[in-house]
Chain A
Amino acid sequence: MEEESDSRKINNSFLRDHNYATEADIISTVEFNSTGELLATGDKGGRVVVFQREQESKNQPHRRGEYNVYSTFQSHEPEFDYLKSLEIEEKINKIRWLPQQNAAYFLLSTNDKTVKLWKISERDKRPEGYNLKDEDGRIRDPSTITSLRVPVLQPMDLMVEAMPRRVFSNAHTYHINSISVNSDYETFMSTDDLRINLWNLEITNRSFNIVDIKPANMEELTEVITAAEFHPHQCNTFVYSSSKGSIRLCDMRASALCDNHSKFFEEPEDPSNRSFFSEIISSISDVKFSHSGRYLMTRDYLTVKVWDLNMESKPLETYQVHDYLRSKLCSLYENDCIFDKFECVWNGSDSVIMTGSYNNFFRMFDRNTKRDVTLEASRENSKPRAILKPRKVCVGGKRRKDEISVDSLDFSKKILHTAWHPYENIIAVAATNNLYIFQDKVN
């Protein structure tokens, strides 16, 4: 699949030096809403930036619905837990959109400890002609009011405002790694290292614990929860993945506390590939249901796996993302890269899956044709609106002209977060502090 690139660097604060990236600008999550009209990013500084796709116009057919900044707001602030003397990072770990039910947009954003429901709405009219106050807001002296008038709505410049509508806090001892909205559109779950809590979107002072894997003696802890997601259609079903490479599917109808799983997905270890790092690289960093709800995709350090919900013994498909790193695991352990948590996404029809890698590379795998491609998100190596050139990593021996050798890979340039439009072939790729949006080639 060939791509036309429409890359842009998103600058959204007033003081900006183009030559270096501040750490607060590092994008930590990317998510399209259910129609694909909006794209939200969260960053390490606790900000959320929402982009909106502009209407396609006949006058400029080549600008096929580009994304422009729609709203920017500070979702989370750094906090200090006085009880434990701990600073709580404001970094946005995940954003999930709620399905649209009226003119306003709703999203959930979370940092390590608190989930917030934000309402993003437009205002293009304002009332004028109040009785008790002036146009600039000063209170009028009641004794001077001789007649009453009805305020009238007058048009004004479009204003997009974001307001926090709910704050779901004080329910997690450990760091929240996932949130997922249920298909019933009434509840959602938040997941930390050891527990999963179920919330009602309307109620903030109470949550139900549905999974708890904390051992009585913390010294016996050997496994933590790494991600969780609700089934896209069955509101009673969800999955959660672990640091040991297993996925558990749970049914909330079975019991209030879903410590016992309905299904357990784990691939037996390949003894020929066994090393000191086998466990670390088997830790699942992301789990995603397919849109159809029939399949499950998991990402561990070196592979992406597609599972059939009806087959627990082994995955249906395994795709090697960057197997050339297998011989370098010791150095990757030393420089902490082995702990990087890559995400993975499905396309709208569940036929292609995508995930990120190092050196600003990201990979796509076509499940039907079994073809795969490596692309690069970088301004230096691709001009706007130019077709992306497939990249190749040379594993050894002679390096061809356009190939890059494993030792030349830049491990500081990692693509952890990507998103795919729910219907079209538009993808969003976060490369450190830059957001790239790629669209399908127009013929």
Chain B
Amino acid sequence: MVAKGQKRKLLEGRGAWESQLQSVLDISMEKFHRDQALVEPSLLRSVLISNTLRQVQSEVRAQVESLSSVKMPTKPQTHSGLEPDFPSGSPSSTEHNAPVFSLNDENSNTEEDVMAWTSEEDFSLSSAISVILKDLDTVIDAGQGPPRAPLGSVENLTGDARHTQYPPSSSRTERASNVVPSVKSEAACLGCPQDVVLEKLLLDIDTSVFEPEVNLLQGFSVTADDLVKYLPSLSKSPSASSSSSSSSHGQATWEIQEIEHVMDILMRTYPQS
């Protein structure tokens, strides 16, 4: 149970960090765009806000890298990049020693917890983040452009676009203003797994990862139900945590993640030809 408590705390801690990241990002973007609309934004303010945005960007990139390395566990450095302070060994992991796959306790514990992290919320967050990263590059570049004639900005104010600059930065600014709605919609997607987000997720994830799973299933003629039989403890264990935190929907999702995780293990244990 220690592992589960740790997992919950880490989930909460990570959620707090994420929410702060999100609010800093939102506030910074709002200030940035508001200042851009001003006739003469304060240079000190602009520099501080864009430096904060850059910091958010680099933190997000670091997180996305660690998340993406989790999604594709073929990479050997996966586990080292994750939270190191996991207790090795837990009561639930001892029951994993079914003959189909060989796991050591540490591995299973880490991956199990990681897969619990990578709930649908996180998948949507990472996809949102990758979109936001692209936007940030655009926005930060546009922010440091030469001072523009304010008459131009006032004249070209439309309902959607905030401003237009004289060239050379005009195209970048328009792109920046155009991506504002998309950034906001991505932010709105967070926390609510939607089909749109999942589709984006699938596009993001390298689908070749899943191919060996398919092959494996065909080769072994193992169905999901069969695997679940081999993992009685896994199907039970989420109920302990889900009774206090996630809903039954979350529990089913968790099981699906577990199955995927098992597929990955199988893939590694029995490499495709």
Binding site for B on A (CB under 8 A): 84-87, 174-175, 193-194, 217-224, 226, 243, 276-277, 279-280, 283, 330, 333-334, 336, 339
Contacts and interface: CB of A to CB of B under 8 A. Distances in A.
A33 B144 CA distance: 40
B12 interface: no
Contacts of A84: 147, 149-150
B42 interface: yes
Q: Report which residue of A194, A226, A277 has the largest number of chain B beta carbons within 10 angstroms of its beta carbon.
A: A277
Given A193-B43, A276-B59, 11 more contacts: A86-B39, A87-B39, A175-B42, A222-B50, A223-B47, A243-B48, A276-B21, A276-B24, A280-B48, A334-B23, A339-B48
Nearest to A83: B149
A54 B262 CA distance: 88
Nearest to A280: B48
A224 to B, nearest CB: 5
B87 interface: no
Interface of B: 20-21, 23-24, 27, 31, 39-40, 42-45, 47-48, 50-52, 55-56, 59, 141, 144-147, 149-151
Contact of A243 (B44, B147, B151): B44
Given A86-B39, A218-B144, A339 B52 contact: no
Contacts of B21: 276
Given A276-B20, A276-B24, A276-B55, A193 B44 contact: yes
A226 B43 CA distance: 10
A194 B144 CA distance: 14
Contacts of A175: 42-43
A280 B52 contact: yes
A283 B44 CA distance: 9
Contact of A219 (B20, B45, B59, B144): B144
12 contacts: A217-B144, A218-B145, A220-B144, A221-B43, A221-B144, A222-B50, A224-B44, A277-B52, A280-B52, A333-B24, A339-B44, A339-B48
B47 A221 contact: yes
Contacts of B141: 219
Nearest to A215: B144
B142 to A, nearest CB: 9
Contacts of A217: 144
Contacts of B24: 276, 330, 333
B150 A224 contact: no
A175 B55 CA distance: 26
Given A84-B149, A218-B144, A330-B23, A339 B56 contact: no
A276 B59 CA distance: 9
A116 B44 CA distance: 24
Nearest to B45: A339
Given A220-B144, A333-B27, A279 B39 contact: no
Contacts of A193: 43-44
A436 B42 CA distance: 30
